[in-house]
Amino acid sequence: MSDIPVSTPINPMLGDNMQQATLDDRNNIPNAGHGGHTVIEEATQDKVKATEKNKTVGKPLCDNPKIEVRDVSVFYGEKQAVFGVDLDIAKNEVIAMIGPSGCGKSTFLRCLNRMNDTVDTCRVEGSITLEGQDIYAPKLDVVPLRAKVGMVFQKPNPFPKSIYENVIYGPKIHGLASRRSEMDEIVETSLRKAGLWEEVKDRLHQPGTGLSGGQQQRLCIARTIAVSPEVILMDEPCSALDPIATAKIEELIAELSQNYTIAIVTHSMQQAARVSNRTAYFHLGKLIEVNDTQLVFTNPDHELTEAYITGRFG
Amino acid sequence: MDTLQLDQHISQQFNADLEHLKTALLEMGGLVEEQLADVIKAIESGDSSLAEKALIAEDEIDRRELSIDKECLTVLARRQPAASDLRLVMMVSKAIRDLERMGDEASKIARMVIALSEDGTEIRGNSELRHLANSVVKIVRVALDAFAHSDVFEAIKVVKDDKEIDKEYQSTMREMITYMMEDPRQISRVMNVLWMLRSLERIGDHARNVAEQVIYLVRGMDIRRTDLSDVERQLESKS
């Protein structure tokens, strides 16, 4: 009599949890954890977070990078601002750079289109290649480079010209458009991509400086897009904007990432969490951690990243 | 980071908010433990006044669930916590649900004890019931300790022990079925014991959930249902 199987329908007590995996089942999953460890093994490993300061933890490199940065150090005179950074930026990814003030993230971003050339005391060591081409090669012309790698700054900085002129200025000097119809087309598509067309199409010849802050920033993005860049660098593009304008720019970043590679420096961690695929954390000039954004904000690998994003040091 | 370092934020208020969440969860856990202890004493002694006390405790446990839930929401809205802080808030908001369910199950047992004590006769299966109850009380305590100490080893122990409890539950159930077959006049009483066993087993499962959440909190690892085929089987059984 006692050999009645417990799962016979007459038994109302059988919990659905009885069908859950046993611990042994879980242990038998091949490669359930990272690096061949089982989940349980990994969970009980007595590991603490990485504390290494001279090596980047996480995934700084990727396959088929758009931009390849190797051992880049940046000096302002005697003072070193960035220490031996290795980083790949993938095609069509949005990578966010975060870190406390003075950590070198903006300096690093500015290296990517040689914006630091304008600072006399600034010296860049190491190599940065854009699709395999060394952007610091002596013979390289920085003007087309900066068209390929455009930049949007913290404060909207439209030229003191009309909206139309703001957008078409770049294509004109790069010789991308000469006929009026071509120029009209570039202006319209750029403003459309920047999500500004509907708001300004009736006043294209009024000054760009007359727009609101958020509109000015989108105008600057339109201006960047107008020269058909491959990469867009954004240095705290929303820090001077209100939440609504910020939301529009963030929406735009998501759309733009379908066609462009975007690197964004931001002080807003929520912004980094919202817009980026990967997040890079800089600390005192060193690249501490690069990981998928979801991982960085839920369970970062490095204790410094953890301390920074949870607001544990200033 | 095995310690949560809840006192290290730049914002003192944030420290206090998170500390309070942790304390509130442990207090709620304490209430559940106490309620469970009363229920078990009631089973052993047949003292229905202890069972009545356990029923009253349930109201307070429910209130705690609501208030802690609200606190979690406030921290999320005001602080947008990240990383271990975020995991703590999520963990607490899930664990209170498990604790509340434990309270419900303990109350169910309390009601059975009252019903059985009114019946007056000694029931078969009492010793099995006590044995399972003691195992369950133990893992509830260990799960809460694991949370208090952020100790993944203790948490793993709960997960393992719950598996043993599930086995014990199954074999006890077989025994109960045998009792019923031997003496059909006992069926309604043994059914009550079965329901109590079932509730105990469920409490063990909730303790395991809490322990799994502790592992998530401390390590950021989700060890729930890591076996895909098991998930599929569950989907099938529910469809």
DSSP structure string for A261-284: EEEEE-S-HHHHHHH-SEEEEEET
- The residue among A281, A309, A310, A243 whose CA lies nearest residue A58 is A281
Quote the CA–CA distance of B98 and B64 in Å, as a whole number: 12
CB B124 within 8 A of CB B193: yes
pLDDT, one tens digit per residue, over A198-234 is 999 999 999 999 999 999 999 999 999 999 999 999 9
Task: Report the complex ipTM.
Answer: 0.74
- The domain ranges of chain B are 12-225
- The residue among A314, A312, A305 whose CA lies nearest residue A51 is A305
Four-CA torsion A184, A185, A190, A191, nearest 10 degrees: 60
CB pair distance less than 8 Å for A39 and B80: no
CB pair distance less than 8 Å for A39 and B223: yes
Q: Which residues contact A299 (CB under 8 A, 6 or more apart)?
A: B83, B84, B87, B219, B220, B221
CB pair distance less than 8 Å for A270 and B80: yes
Q: How far is B100 from chain A (nearest CA, A)?
A: 18
Is residue B234 over pLDDT 50?
Answer: no
- The residue among B95, B10, B84 whose CA lies nearest residue B61 is B95
- pLDDT grade, residue B223 (50/70/90)? confident
Four-CA torsion A28, A33, A34, A36, nearest 10 degrees: -10
CB pair distance less than 8 Å for B170 and A49: no
What share of chain B in percent tops pLDDT 90?
62
Arch. (CATH architecture) of A91-111+138-309: 3-Layer(aba) Sandwich (3.40)
pLDDT, one tens digit per residue, over B47-98 is 889 999 999 999 999 999 999 999 999 999 999 999 999 999 999 999 999 9
CB pair distance less than 8 Å for A22 and B219: no
Q: Write down the pTM of the prediction.
A: 0.79
CATH topology of domain B12-225: Methane Monooxygenase Hydroxylase; Chain G, domain 1 (1.20.58)
Q: Give the residue on A whose Cα is nearest the Cα of B227.
A: A26
User: Would an 8 Å CB–CB cutoff place A220 in contact with chain B?
Assistant: no
User: In chain B, positions 4-43, which contact chain A (CB-CB < 8 Å)?
Assistant: 5, 8-11, 14
CB pair distance less than 8 Å for B83 and A13: no
Quote the CA–CA distance of A126 and A68 in Å, as a whole number: 11
Q: CA distances (Å), B140 to each of B204, B219, B220, B221, in order?
A: 7, 21, 22, 21
* Whole-number pLDDT of residue A40: 52
Quote the CA–CA distance of A297 and A294 in Å, as a whole number: 6
Q: Kindly list the residues from chain A whose CB atom is less than 8 angstroms away from the CB atom of residue B205.
A: 15, 17
CB pair distance less than 8 Å for A306 and B195: no
Q: CA torsion sign, A238 to A244 to A247 to A253? A: negative
Quote the CA–CA distance of A293 and A313 in Å, as a whole number: 20
Amino acid letter at A16? Answer: D
Phi, then psi, of B93 in degrees rounded to 5: -65, -25
Decide the pairing of beta strands A286-292 and A278-283: antiparallel
pLDDT per residue of chain A (314 residues) written in tens, 0 to 9:
444 443 333 333 433 443 333 333 333 333 333 344 455 555 555 456 788 888 899 999 998 899 999 999 999 999 999 999 999 999 999 999 999 999 999 999 999 999 988 889 999 999 999 999 999 999 999 999 999 999 999 999 999 999 999 999 999 988 888 899 999 999 999 999 898 999 999 999 999 999 999 999 999 999 999 999 999 999 999 988 888 889 989 999 999 999 999 999 999 999 999 999 999 999 999 999 999 999 999 999 999 999 999 998 74
CB B96 within 8 A of CB B65: yes
* The two structure tokens encoding residue B205: 């499962």
- In three-state secondary structure terms, A120 is coil
- In three-state secondary structure terms, A295 is helix
CB B147 within 8 A of CB B21: no
At how many degrees (to 10) do helices B126-149 and B12-45 cross? Answer: 170
Q: Give the residue on A whose Cα is nearest the Cα of B220.
A: A299
User: Would an 8 Å CB–CB cutoff place A306 in contact with chain B?
Assistant: yes
